[in-house]
Amino acid sequence: MATAANGQQESLDPKAKHAIRGAWFGFFVDMFDIYLPIVVLAPALIYFVPPDLDATTSAVISGTIFAATLLGRPVGSIIFGHFADSIGRKRTTIISVSGFGVITLLMALLPGYEQWGLAAVILLIVLRLVDGVFLGGEYTSANPLAMEYSPKEKRGFYSALIMSGYPLAFAAISAITTVLLLFIPAGDINSPYVQWGWRIPFVIGSLLAFALVIYYVYFVDESELFEESGGGGSPLRQLFTERENLLSFLQVFVLMTGFWLTLQTVAAILPSLLGSQVGLSQTNTTITLVVSNVVLVGGYIASGVISQRVGRRLFLIVYGLVAAVAGTFLYYLLLSAPPQNLFLVILLTTIITLLVVSCWGITTAYINERFQTGIRASAFGIGYSLAVVLPSLYAYYQAGLAAFMPFEYTVLVLLAIGSLLMVAGAVWGPETKDVDFSEDVQAAPEAGDRAPETSREGPRTAPGADRSVGGT
């Protein structure tokens, strides 16, 4: 098997390089697609809805378009996770990426309300739901493939590198939309951006997906760990009926619920607050978000490297506590006493983003380290995706909290709760940075379908050592 997968060589072999590059590219395209309706369609939503629609209903429709994709992702992780664990990571990635490439292209060709009435926006929502299913299959298959080729002593770094596709994609799509609006203005229903300008980023997203398919076909090899394990079986049955796997999944679910809830406070809620509460123009809001997301790449890499040194568990516990206290406090300052200087707003927003979102850099490594090869793709995909459902209802939680406090400060409660859930999930789980992915494959002939404990919890030096802070 590849020495890179065993973590025995300093430099990556070509197979590992291609798998990691493919996973990064895949996550970039995935996130690019995710934020198309939020960033690209926002100035052109009147193309799909009645012109006399009130602001509240318009916001609900916009949120539904975005939520449809998020809700489709858990379904995709269940479907494609099964295939990734049974027929292979590479083949499943190619199928799922081809699917959302086609769906995104179809969305670029949609007629609007003037042509089809409400059927236009309904079809858009349906396509976004199906799109989410295919998107859920991309990282479910590509990320475990990359992690299985990564040296264990550098998995944190390569996990962060892959996850950096999110802030870079957000910055890229924001920049593309800003440039388009400069040359193709948006305005009334007959303005060029509303009629056809918004389609350009959708076509770009589709072409990126097809380029990714070509890359996987010609350059990425199947995971050698998967090939040695033989695939087949019923990964979902093993995940949800075997006690240790189920407990591991529940722990990951709690952790990721905290991750998603804190992310919503920055990715979904903060952009609107920068305008309504801080007083930034749309252009300055975009500039602020682009800068903070570019800097966030460094936060991701730092998280991966630090967690590789001190351990994932200790890192997550400390990070969650810092986010709950310092992150919430700085968010409060931004809302209650916003700086009048744009540079200071950008600086404060960037620090908040780093304190709240940087932890995402280690998610690919951590979740994959919690499960053995035979169920890794299913467990990673479902554990990562299913936890998004409850946090996606953040607007309803804010509405309920608004009965007791000013609406603009309800986001602070969500941030604190999400951070503490992150801490709880980390405390519940073991240390994972020293997990050797090859151990469960080597032990498979004796162990049957059940992987040894070391494949999930790492090697033990003494009773209870895997539960100690830092795991060392």
What tokens appear for 98 in the block?
């081809």
**How high is the pLDDT of residue 471?**
35
Q: Are 379 and 367 in contact (CB under 8 A)?
A: yes
What is the value of pTM for the model shown? 0.87
- Tens digits of residue pLDDT in 9-31: 457 889 999 999 999 999 999 99
Measured over the CA atoms of residue 268, residue 269, residue 272 and residue 278, the dihedral's sign is negative
What tokens appear for 33 in the block?
């697609």
Taking 3-state DSSP, the helix, strand and coil percentages for the chain, each rounded to the nearest 5, stand at 80, 0, 20
**How high is the pLDDT of residue 69?**
87
Rounded CA separation 433/333 (Å): 36
CA neighbor of 252 nearest in space, from 416, 133, 371, 418: 371
Does pLDDT of 276 surpass 60? Answer: yes
Q: Are 80 and 137 in contact (CB under 8 A)?
A: yes
Using the structure block, give the residue that is written with the tokens 């400390």.
318
Q: Are 265 and 411 in contact (CB under 8 A)?
A: yes
Residue-range domains of the chain with CATH? 3-471 (1.20.1250.20)
Phi/psi at 432 (nearest 5 deg)? Answer: -130, -10
Using the structure block, give the residue that is written with the tokens 């975005």.
66
Using the structure block, give the residue that is written with the tokens 């939309």.
177
What tokens appear for 275 in the block?
């305008």
Does pLDDT of 8 surpass 50? Answer: no
- Tens digits of residue pLDDT in 103-139: 999 999 999 999 999 899 999 999 999 999 999 999 9
CA neighbor of 79 nearest in space, from 134, 30, 128: 134
Rounded CA separation 256/73 (Å): 14
- Max distance between CA atoms of the chain, in angstroms, equals 70
What region does 451 belong to: left with phi over 0, alpha with psi -120 to 50, or beta? Answer: beta
Phi/psi at 378 (nearest 5 deg)? Answer: -60, -45
Q: Residue 460: enclosing H or E segment and its boundaries?
A: none
Measured over the CA atoms of residue 173, residue 166, residue 135 and residue 61, the dihedral's sign is negative
Rounded CA separation 190/3 (Å): 59
Does pLDDT of 448 surpass 60? Answer: no
What tokens appear for 388 in the block?
């998004």
- Tens digits of residue pLDDT in 150-197: 999 999 999 999 999 999 999 999 999 999 999 999 989 999 999 999
What is the mean predicted confidence (pLDDT) over 353-377? 97
